[in-house]
Structure formats: C-alpha cells, structure tokens
Amino acid sequence: MKYGELSLTHHELAAGAAARAALLVELLPRGAEPHIGVLLDNVPEYPLWLSAAALAGAAVAGINPTRRGPELVRDIAHTDCALLITERAHLPLLAGQTLPVPPDRILVVDDPAYRALLTPYEDARPGDTHLGRTPRGRAPAAAPTPASRMLLYFTSGSTGTPKAAICTQGRLAAAGHALAGYFGVRRDDVHYLCMPMFHGNAVLAGWAPALAGGAAVALRRRFSASAFLPDVRRYGATYFTYVGRAVQYLLATPPGPDDRDHPLRAGFGTEAGTVDAARFADRFGVRLTEGYGSSEGGAALRRSPDTPLGAIGTAAPGEDLAVVDPETGAELPRARLDTAGRLLNGAEAIGELVNRGRSSFEGYWRNPEATADRTRGRTSAQAGAGWYWTGDLFFRDADGFFHFAGRTDDRLRVDSENLAATMIENILARYAPATGVAVHAVPDPVAGDQVMATLALRDGAVFDPDDFVAFLAAQPDLGTKMAPRFVRTVAALPVTATHKVHRAALRRTGFRCPEPVWWSPLDAGPAGRAYRPFGEADRAALLAHYADHDRAHLLER
C-alpha cells in the first residue's frame, strides 16, 4: 500500500489488520452486531480496517463525510455500528450530535491514544481472533465464512434516503477475482484508489481485484483532477476506477505534451459516456472500460472483445437479463441502430433492465420494503415477481448487447413518447462549449413532461442561443421530442459525494434556480427551437399556468 511517503508491504498490512481485528473483538459489546462505522477519507487506516473486519468476521459501514447533522447520525444508527473509526478532520461533523456510539468506542486514528490502544495487540496474527488466542481472555469471534457480512455500503443517495446494501465476504471475493481475471491483474500492478472508499466503486472494483491479483494499491485522500497524473507517475499506477463526472474533471484540465507519459493501462467505471471515453482515450492513450454492476450485486454485464462502441456488454454467466416494460413486465423489442450506432426506435426499445435468473442480491440492511421492491412483481398482474429489478434503463441491440440509457427516475414522457435522459445527454455532450451536461424532466403544465438541460460551460464560454439551435439541427439522431424546452447554464454541475451528477438537486430546482435559464416558449412551433432568456415575467406566467391546471405541486417532486 502506498500513500504519500508511506509504503507498506503485504506482510505489514496483514500484521496491522490482525492487530486491529484483535482490538475490534475486544471492544465489541457482547450481543452487539459486529458492525463498525468507518468515517475516513482514503487514508491507510481505511483498508487496514476493511482487512481487520474481514479477519474478525465483522462488517464495515462506509459513512459518507459529506452527510451532515441528523442524516449522518441516521446512517450510523441505521447500520447498528458498535464502533466508529474516524479522524480529527471529521470530528466537527460529530460535534453537538447525539451519537448512537459511546465516546469510548469512537476511535480517532490520528490521536496518540489510538496508538496506545493498538500497542497490546501488535503481536497478533491473522486467525487469532477466531482461534481462541485473543488477548485478555476475550471469547474468540466466529470464524468468517463466505456468508459473513463484510460491507454495508450506502447507495449514493442522489434520489432519496440512502439504503445500506449488504455485501458478504463471498460476493466481495467473487467480484475481486472476476475483475482480476478480466483485466489480467499482476503482482506488479498498482491500483490507484482516488474514488471514495465509503462507496462500493473503490472497494469492489479497485481494492478487491488488487487483493485477488496480489497487486499494490495507492491511495488518494480525495479525488483531485490536477493531482491525477502526478500521482499516477509517482506511484507507477496501472489501473484506476472512475465515475463519469471524474472523467469530465480530468478532461477539463489543461492539455500537456506529456499527457501520455504514464504507466496507466486500464480504467474501469461507469457513466463516462461514449464522447468523453473517446476524448479520454485520444488524449491520455487509455481505454476506459464501462462496466455495470451496482453495490447491490443484482445484475452484472461483462464486456467481450466484440462489444461494440457505446455498449456495455452481455449478461454475466448464470444471469438471465432482459429489457422490459416497467408497467407490464413484457420484454421489449430489440433496438434498431443506424450505421453510426445511433438509436432509431428509443420509444419502443428503452425499458428497465431486470434479472430473471439467479441473482447475487443480498438485500438491504434493516429495510425489508426496499429489499422487496427490488424483487417483487411491479405490475397489476404481479409479472416479474422474483426478478431483480435494477431501476436502470437500457436497450438491447440485435446482437444481444446491452446499452445503458439512464435511471428509471430519469425517464421522461414528452407528448406521450417515452424518452431517456441519458440518450439526450449523449447527444448534447457533443456541444463544444459544454464540459458537462445533465438532462432531466420538468413537469409540463398540462400533461407529461418537458425536457430541461443543464450545461456546464467551459471557462470563458457564453451561451449563444443561435449557435445552440444550429447545433441541435445538425444532430441526425436528435428526435423531434428531445430538444430541451429549458437550458440552464452553470459553471459546474452539482455532484454527489461519489462524484455522480446530482440530478435530484437539479430536478428540485428546475427552472426556479439562481443561474441563467434560456427557454423555447410553448408557442415556438414544430419547425424548430428559438431560445430566449427566461425572465421573471416568464416564470410568473408559467407558474400561473401550472396552477390553472392544478399541477404546481408536481414541481416539488
């Protein structure tokens, strides 16, 4: 493990994990759930405590440091944490809160008292905690098995209250070995962990394959676009994980003549988009591999050498994946693509991805309603009972490859036609002045939805409505219902703690936002769009229109 000037061998990591595992067994109250909350940035103590939990048969709940007040306390309480591991930098988050963990079981890893606590366990070895050799006569922990809970990782929380997905040691190991095999992970590889470890991306897709392949890991406390290449060169990093917004941050850094002077050979993540992935490969010489597989583990897609550009892959072995109508459960027609790979029949081909076969979904901690919602039938006839419903929109091409089309929450219905926000985003991403694009629905004053796009403009760029109209007219795959009614311009898109675009925040404000908004009035006509500033008089008149049709409440969803 590498972190700044610190470098630990595999042996030193194992010894450090064993000491922490012994301390964990000593501190856990009798009868308590063996759960520990970890409220840390990506510092060496994070993987050490992940390893300690594994040795002791305990589970780590990744606590998100961007949560605040009652919401932060709720996460700790909801996951029944008997121990909380944190650092001085995050103590202000806990100050003044009524915590479910007593002070003597809150360990501050950069406090001298913490080192004193660990000292009696420095001679511990892996296995001591369940072989009856724990200090002070404490009863040994149960030997971990593949079914032992290992992770309680919260969903990103961009669309509602976060849920804690359960991941066992067996599922984590399976994910690590699968990715290590796919990417050919070797002992001389270095996995750069710059995505936050309180989320599954860094742990399941970064740390686990490094363990399985015997590779090293290099930690970055928090993601930094400007520090990315210097870190990669410093640590000799060969692999990293990402989310789409992080890729946009990297592409927004000033180009340099040495952009390809680095040892990276692979990047693995989600939601980069075809345009940004192509730009990244062209600039940095690294192919980004888009994957699909959530923290819940209910469905997974795998790439093969013949996976076409823009597709994610085919179903993992043993999984029966299909794209279905969320209302009826009926499988939808295959997508028709033109020679450039553009979708021609999105209204009939885009639906929810379901797994009708064996699923590795292990449920949500203390949330039976959310667990049942993932697996029960959703239609009046209960079609799809027992399936795993992903909550994600996809389409499937004639050759059986699956293409991501967005989240079910990102579905729009415009003039009775179903659209997917991600499909529109992929088109608007070609607009040169924009560094990022987010599309979401705004309720129509009368029926259905209207399209709103938020554009993050490059430094110095100014939105030119005529130029934007010309751009839209030049896009052959922009359907007649896809052009945005509203365009919001921002310096940067809002993101969640896991660097995903915070669409829920954008939806909540809609056109009632402080940033400039341009709109194409309702009387623009079918011949094309003409954008003008959306002023206070426009806003008042439009809100009155909503009120007249008793739909103003929909703006609060």
The whole-number pLDDT of residue 128 equals: 85
pLDDT of residue 527: 44
H or E element that contains 421: helix 421-428
How high is the pLDDT of residue 410? Answer: 73
Residues 402, 521, single domain; the answer is no
Is 35 in contact with 88 (CB distance < 8 Å)? no
Same domain (yes/no): 310, 448: no
The tokens describing 98, both together, are 């009524």
Q: Of 502, 497, 495, 273, give the one whose Cα is nearest residue 405.
A: 273
Domain limits at 532?
428-556
CATH label of the domain that carries residue 465? 3.30.300.30
User: Percent of the chain at pLDDT above 90?
Assistant: 64
Distance CA 257, CA 421 (A): 36
Question: Cβ(114)–Cβ(45) under 8 Å?
Answer: no
Cβ neighbors of 132 (< 8 A, separation 6 or more) are 140
By three-state DSSP, how is residue 294 classified? coil
Task: Extract the residue ranges of the chain whose pLDDT is less than 50.
Answer: 157-159, 523-527
Which residue(s) pair with 75 in the sheet? none
381 with 447, same domain: the answer is no
CATH number, domain with residue 337: 2.30.38.10
Tell me: do 471 and 550 sit in the same domain. Answer: yes
User: Is the residue at 286 inside a domain?
Assistant: no
Domain boundary residue among 341, 376, 411? 411
Residue 284 falls inside a structural domain:
no
Q: How many structural domains does the chain have?
A: 3
CA distance 27 to 35: 11
- In this structure, the answer to whether residues 434 and 397 fall within a common structural domain is no
pLDDT digits (tens, 9 = 90+) for 117-152: 999 999 999 988 876 655 555 666 778 999 999 999
Residue 197's identity, in one-letter code, is M
Token output for 472: 């839209």
Residue 319: count other Cβ atoms within 10 Å of its Cβ. Answer: 19
For residue 223, give the amino acid letter.
Answer: F
CA 514 to chain CA mean position, Å: 27
> Is residue 56 included in any domain, yes or no?
yes
Provide the pLDDT for residue 134: 58
pLDDT score, position 67: 83
CA distance 85 to 511: 42
Domain membership flag for residue 255: no
